[in-house]
Amino acid sequence: MTGQERDDDAERLFVVLEGLRTAPTPSLRWERRDLLSRGVAVDPAVRRVLAEHYRRIHAPDQAARWGWGTPDWTRASEGRALRLVLLDLLPFAEPRALLWMAREESAPRGLEDLVDLDPLPRDSWVMGVGCITTGICALLLVAGVLGVGGGTLIRIVTGDAADEVLRYLGMGSLAMLVTLVVGLVALAVSDRSARRLERKRVAAVRARVESLLPGLSRKEQAVLLRSWLRSFSDTDEQRPVRLQLVDLARRRRRAAEAGRWGVAVAGLTTEHERQAFAATLRAGDEWLFELERRTSRTPGALGVDECDALLRAGIPPEVLEADEERRRSLDAKSSVSSRS
């Protein structure tokens, strides 16, 4: 982007921000996002305008995000709000990138422990090359099937000798087989690289969380642990994090919170905690969605304590039984289709 283009984008951003302040619309929000993605915020003057805009519309975390570069401008309440947002995104993103900070820039006051963390592992070039190669091989394979099939048909129709047709078909099949093997090898290499990257990422996130937790306030610990829980898709992987969340909730004397995070693990919560959590649930048509949303629960069969909490929330037993029967039926169909 040239200097003139960046200046034009900055002027347009000022107009968009004024429009958002007086009459916000989805199109203006998309335009603001597009302008920021194009790098207009590298200009400190633009960041200062963004910070003042977010302060005026009472978005303290965003005010601190864009205003940290101006000495003594950010308020303490804004800095605390930004810390919570960064902690919530820590397992998934880099604080420096979110703050538009260059690697050589010093961390803002109050954010040193978050900004100076070791970066998370990045995608390897091996995985990228493997994905591209697999895609190319898939296209070549489709083109080869169509080409060889069409060429063979033309030779049969035009009356070519049988041995000529067979030779053409054999050469084409050999080329497709080689393409298929190369594609499968590339796919295997890419998948292996992705799995290795995921293991490194999980270990790096765990190291981040374990290094930060002791120095955080209880509120900050809760935010970080909830974010860490969302980074896992498997219930067994979530269990250690849920144990920490329940322990933290009990130390904060919050029975509903303990029930919320522990209800997915059988035997972890008390009746009092499940009752307190049940009081916060809405017994409507979307009760299962509400349970999964509130607890970061992965879809699957309901556990004993989850059923108990839902019954306490007012869900009729026959509804739970009908849902469990439907789930078993879907699991059975899925098992049959996978075997076939």
pLDDT at 78 over 90: yes
DSSP string, 1-25: --HHHHHHHHHHHHHHHHHHHHS--
Q: What is the pLDDT of residues 191-237, one digit of tens each?
A: 888 888 888 888 888 999 999 999 999 999 999 999 999 988 788 88
Q: What is the pLDDT of residues 10-57, one digit of tens each?
A: 888 888 888 888 888 888 889 888 888 877 777 888 888 889 989 988
Q: Looking at the structure, do residues 130 and 105 belong to the same domain, yes or no?
A: no
Q: Looking at the structure, do residues 238 and 313 belong to the same domain, yes or no?
A: yes
Q: Looking at the structure, do residues 107 and 9 belong to the same domain, yes or no?
A: yes
Tokens of residue 142, six digits: 């489709």
Of 115, 136, 169, the residue that ends a domain is 115
- Classify residue 225: in a domain, yes or no: no
Q: Looking at the structure, do residues 103 and 129 belong to the same domain, yes or no?
A: no
Of 66, 88, 115, the residue that ends a domain is 115
User: d(Cα 67, Cα 83) in Å, to the nearest integer?
Assistant: 14
Domain around 176: 125-211
Looking at residue 137, what is its pLDDT?
A: 74
Q: Looking at the structure, do residues 110 and 129 belong to the same domain, yes or no?
A: no
Query: How many structural domains is the chain composed of?
Result: 3
In which region does residue 26 sit, left (phi positive, over 0), alpha (psi from -120 to 50) or beta (all else)? alpha
Looking at residue 334, what is its pLDDT?
A: 55
- Classify residue 222: in a domain, yes or no: no
